Structure 1
Amino acid sequence: MGCSFSGLNALYDAVNGGGDVWINENRFRILRQLGEGGFAYVYLVKEVVADTSSVSGGGGLAKKVKDQSHLSDDGTYAVKKVLIQNAEQLELVREEIRVSSLFNHPNLLPLLDHAIIAIKGGQEGNWNHEAYLLFPVHLDGTLFDNAKVMKAKKEFYSTSDVLQIFHQLCAGLKHMHSLEPPYAHNDVKPGNVLITQRKGQSPLAILMDFGSARRARREIRSRSEALQLQEWAAEHCSAPFRAPELWDCPSHADIDERTDIWSLGCTLYAIMYGFSPFEYALGESGGSLQLAIMNAQIKWPAGPNPPYPEALHQFVTWMLQPQPAIRPCIEDVIIHVDKLISKFSK
């Protein structure tokens, strides 16, 4: 799926603030805004199909999407609109589209279609761009959203649900780490995990937002390269879930996909308790998030009654090895979570 510039209809609707948006040859009606952040807005949309007999088949979108299981039964989807103000931002969006198109896994959010359109700027001869990225919609929110609701109700996931949600995240990451070359997500956290509640089953978990995903393996051979990596990580990797080697990178280091394993360990902790294992440092007088992470200083809060098995705490600690060379790889993590599921299944 290469980047495309859609036609005049998309340009007209975007400029004039219409209630519809075109993504290439398919038209979508904006129903409501779902969220926003930075230069991006997410909308719930419904496909506008001229031939009503084709609605159940996914309308015009059905002709474009290879995996028909990604099509919505009622024609609703999520559209991410990105405001692009310079060439650097345009390149970042193009890279997100390119990287998203590499993945095909049920626990990774698929990019169904996209369009980048030119918008006349305020200054004479100045053109900006807007990008529209189309995804399946999941209205139950993210792990982060669910954690806030559960905290207010003093509720916790069962041990079985914790492990099943985590297993799904591992499966999605394994797909990314198994590519040639391997890719790292670089921003695994509860806010990037979509949750769909399922009656009689553990929730469905889908990893999203590949704006920070890059080739996982980097050779750092100078102080300048180390500082460049730290600056990049500070911009793209959420601090409470960022691996130690991205906070303080040695001048000679081999960075790989195990940065994601650190974030995965933090996320497992967050599935259980609702927040990162190091966020406590932000609330302490003189506390340092970076220092807590570099020293892997984990504190275990009060949890459900009865408490989570100690084996889950040990599992988290195993992934949160400050030295990446002794941190497990995703295959080892999956083997271990499978054993825990067998041990603690209902």
Structure 2
Amino acid sequence: MGASCTREKITIDGRRFYVIKRLGEGGFSYVDQVEESSTGKKFALKRIQCHSIPEEKAAEEEAKFHQLFNSPNLISLEAWCKQTASGEDSEVLLILPYLKRGTLQDELDKLSARSEHLSEERLWKLIRGICEGVHALHHTDPPVAHRDLKPGNVMLADDDNPIIMDFGSMSQGPEEIKGRSQAVALQDVAAEKCSMLFRAPELFHVDSHCTIDEKVDIWSLGCVFYNMAFLQSPFEPVYQRGDSLHLAVLGRNYKFPENSRYSAGLKELVDSMLTVEALERPNIDWVMDKLSTIDRDLQNQV
């Protein structure tokens, strides 16, 4: 007798999906490729494993964040549900678009392997698209901070449009920190969910009385733009040496390669965004205005 293999079936909002293969996994979730039975269309299924009530609540909030935005540069949500797993465990399932090209980090890794770089034109096109997504986040009422912007959390559509994904670290509205216990709690969450090489200084050591707002994303964006141009985070050399990343961030211990292939506007933009004091750091509107100025300068050079 021949062996048969039955594909896993998932039903959400009356729509039936069959699991095709595993695409990847992280510390808190798995991502599978699925196919909708009625249309044959492929999607990505994000499975968030929840082992406690707080984890379940956080996963549900991630799903609900998707419903706040309508931007081509923020990943959309087709459907979602919560289902009981085993014992007290549960699973939150998110049906997301399937983008076969993968992430911006995948693209940068390929370029690095070939000793190539993004062209100037493509660099600025991708930067503007990413900023459009962040602009949509920060202009929600109240504003939303992503808190884990990095090349690995930016997908590339078939038309090269950058799409920000992974809303699991998001926070809505400025967070008022009142006391050491609250500060330590946020610091622990940041250490767990916000990638170290792109993390804003105010999340490395959270003050006992402060306000953490969406400007954490501006710092991360500065790191992302540097990474896109030079294929590593500005603080990666420090990390690779085993030195203190926190001290390097506070001291702005990074430098641009000599004889950069890109226009001076990139250095000016990144330097402005990597401002340690959040109150002095620009907002996304300033960044967008700066991009328009850079674009005009580049057009005049043609």
Scaled to the shorter chain, the TM-score interval is: over 0.9
Which among 102, 127, 131 is matched to residue 141 of structure 1? Answer: 102
d(CA) in 2 for partners of 1:342, 1:190: 26
Deviation at 1:311, TM superposition (A): 1.9
The aligned runs of 1:79-90 (5 Å cut-off) are 79-90=45-56
What is the number of residues matched between the two proteins?
296
Q: Is the 8 A contact 1:265 1:319 kept in 2?
A: yes
Opposite residue 33 of structure 2, the aligned amino acid is L
The aligned runs of 1:1-346 (5 Å cut-off) are 18-49=7-38, 55=39, 75-119=41-85, 121=86, 126-198=87-159, 203-284=160-241, 287-301=243-257, 307-345=261-299
TM-score by length of 1: 0.81
Larger radius of gyration: 1
Deviation at 1:163, TM superposition (A): 1.1
d(CA) in 2 for partners of 1:83, 1:322: 35
Structure 1 SS opposite 2:89: strand
Between the aligned residues of both structures, percent identity stands at: 35
- 1:53-112 CA-to-partner distances (Å, cap 9, x unmatched) read xx4xxxxxxxxxxxxxxxxxx611111122222222211111111222211111000111
d(CA) in 1 for partners of 2:6, 2:147: 34
Q: Which shifted more, 263-272 or 79-88?
A: 79-88
Structure 1 pair 216–187 and aligned structure 2 pair: CA distance change class (3 A): farther
CA-based RMSD of the aligned residues comes to 1.9
d(CA) in 2 for partners of 1:232, 1:41: 20
- 1:223-271 CA-to-partner distances (Å, cap 9, x unmatched) read 3332222122112211111111111222332221111100010011111
- 1:288-318 CA-to-partner distances (Å, cap 9, x unmatched) read 11111111111224687xx112221121011
d(CA) in 2 for partners of 1:232, 1:240: 15
Opposite residue 19 of structure 1, the aligned amino acid is E
Q: Is the 8 A contact 2:18 2:37 kept in 1?
A: yes
d(CA) in 2 for partners of 1:244, 1:83: 30
Opposite residue 192 of structure 1, the aligned amino acid is N
What residue in structure 2 maps to residue 4 of structure 1? none
Opposite residue 314 of structure 1, the aligned amino acid is E
What residue in structure 2 maps to residue 60 of structure 1? none
Structure 2 SS opposite 1:139: coil
d(CA) in 2 for partners of 1:127, 1:222: 32
Which runs of no fewer than 5 residues in structure 2 stay unpaired? none
Which runs of no fewer than 5 residues in structure 1 stay unpaired? 1-15, 50-54, 56-73
d(CA) in 2 for partners of 1:36, 1:17: 22
Deviation at 1:197, TM superposition (A): 4.5
What residue in structure 2 maps to residue 9 of structure 1? none
d(CA) in 2 for partners of 1:116, 1:224: 31
Structure 2 SS opposite 1:322: coil
